Structure 1
Amino acid sequence: MSQSVTPVRTNQCALIRATANSPVHQFLRRFFRQKLAIAASAVLVALFLLTIIGPAISPYDPVKPDYNSLLQPPSARNLLGTDEFGRDILSRIIYGTRISITVSLSSVFIGSVIGTVVGLTAGYYGGSYDSFVMRTCDIMFAFPGILQAIAIIAILGPGLHNVIVAVAIYTVPQFIRIIRGSTLALKNMMYIEAARAVGIPDRLIIWKHIFPGTFSIALVYFTMRIGTAILIAASLSFLGLGAQPPLPEWGAMLSSGREYLMSAPHVALFPGLAILITCLAFNLFGDGLRDALDRKIVD
């Protein structure tokens, strides 16, 4: 009886050790050691919940004016006060969460997909195609991102959809450079040479062998670019080129509140804090994700 139990216990111990040494377990162990990244994750979870259930828990209509409550300070009735039209600032920030998160995720996703495809192919094939792609990126890098976005909006016209296009175009060369660099490092590896030797098509080598090696870098950069996208989208709305009134977008709220900095500073303070906290949370989460995925860090 004891002889039959021993192999079972041995197999169970081996399974436990294998699970403890799995890449997923190592990633989680490294990530949960970082307190700032965990705090940022909690903030991001709360923000994503607001994008889903925000309208259901919003205390007031975000666009309906109340001319009997103009520029009221924070109180029990309006926790964050009211704006110049008597609209509840808390309700507008809650609704603005959905707008800012949706715009930033959409723009970064579009830019990352295009940048990843171009970066993979440019790094793998090289030659004149690679030179053309990189010189184009150099031209785009020569101009500040906000100026590129303003130029694109000036051509397409103001509006949230055009903001998504502008931020996506700004994001593309960033991903091209990151993915191309990783592709150049991977394409001369022995397993890639072996795949070419046995006649595997280039498209399969790129997507099944090279792309998985660049995924972790792309994921980290994707996360950190969301904060930048939120900031650029808010800047465009602040300048009147993004969301148009009465849409409750954080940048537009900040723009309208700047006229009341002396008499009612809360009108600009709380949208500004929403932008700051959200961008900081995405950046801290991205830093934690990068450290957790870095295999050079010893547990």
Structure 2
Amino acid sequence: MSTTVIDSKKAQQPAAQYSPLKEFWRNYKKKKVALIASVFIFLLIVIAFIGPYIAPYDPYEPNYDAILEGPSAAHFAGTDEYGRDIFSRLLVGTKISLTVSFSAVFLGLIAGTILGLISGYFGGRVDKVIMRCCDVFFSFPDLLLAIAIVAILGPGINNVIIAVMIFSVPSFARLVRGATLSAKENVYVEAAKSMGASHTRIIFKHIFPETISELIIFVTMRVGTAILAASGLSFLGLGASPETPEWGVMLSSGRDYLGTASHVVLMPGIAIFLTVLAFNLIGDGLRDVLDPKIKNS
């Protein structure tokens, strides 16, 4: 009798609720390469916060007794042409490079998402105007467009963020527009329209959630592009000031010593390479997990 009562109580208990987050983590942790890349980026973000406090040397203070020294116990990554510790400059530069790339991509994400939602939802003349403007930006290579923008605004970190943001907007707009065109054909969107829901409510409650997975994938890959663009602008002298420990600036200042002290270029180059590679690997892993076309194949 007691066993029957216990069984009936178990049968009446609700089944475990489906958790999208748990399902995502269960699938994502199977992607070992992407998981390792995620750990690497997490460590970089931690370094961005604590780098100035754990740097063994002042990244700005020259030491003329240790000019262009190779890697050693005293200087893990060697010193530059002013005797400054490269490892300390890399630690401090992590915050600068990540801040520039994250800020530019985040601003481009906001502007591009809004334009893409408006373009895809309303269509017609609005869609044509927005897409033709995007086509104009797409006709220029990203770095060339960024150089032109910084040349107009003037060199500096803030202007680099604006330049990278501007050439990121059309990519986000086109991506969101495509997802919006697909989402607005769903039955629940038509039902919301028939019930008199406002355009704003339909766009942000019913359509925008359908674009999130694609945006997450694209953002991770776009951060890598932003790091390359920001470093390229600084390398050309259009970004951070020469004394700033930014990775692109370090590459630029060390190119004159490539034959005699290759570590001056090699260390920031490795930092840029590994960071961009990690973001691309994370993007590939997220695409495998979140893209329904790949999941169903």
Query: Which of the five TM-score ranges fits, normalised by the shorter chain?
Result: over 0.9
Residue number among 265, 276, 281 corresponding to 1:279 in the alignment? 276
Shift of 1:216: 0.9
1:88 equivalent in structure 2: 85
Contact 1:108 1:229 in 2 (8 A): yes
Residues 1:103 and 2:133 aligned together: no
Residue deviations 1:90-147 (CA, integer Å, cap 9, x gap): 0000011000000000000000000000000111001111101111111110110011
Give the Cα separation in 2 of the matches to 1:255 and 1:244. Answer: 11
> Which amino acid in the other structure matches residue 200 of structure 1?
A
- Divergent runs of 4+, >3 A: 7-13
1:44 equivalent in structure 2: 41
Residue number among 266, 289, 292 corresponding to 1:292 in the alignment? 289
> The residue matched to 1:241 in structure 2 has which SS?
coil
Give the alignment of 1:56-205 within 5 angstroms: 56-205=53-202
Contact 1:28 1:292 in 2 (8 A): no
Give the Cα separation in 1 of the matches to 2:86 and 2:151. Answer: 30
Shift of 1:30: 1.3
2:8 equivalent in structure 1: 7
Report how many residues are paired: 295
Q: What TM-score do the two structures reach when normalised by structure 2?
A: 0.96
RMSD, matched Cα: 1.4
**Aligned-residue identity in percent:** 53
Structure 1 unmatched ranges of 5 or more: none
Structure 2 unmatched ranges of 5 or more: none
Give the Cα separation in 2 of the matches to 1:61 and 1:32. Answer: 39
> The residue matched to 1:14 in structure 2 has which SS?
coil
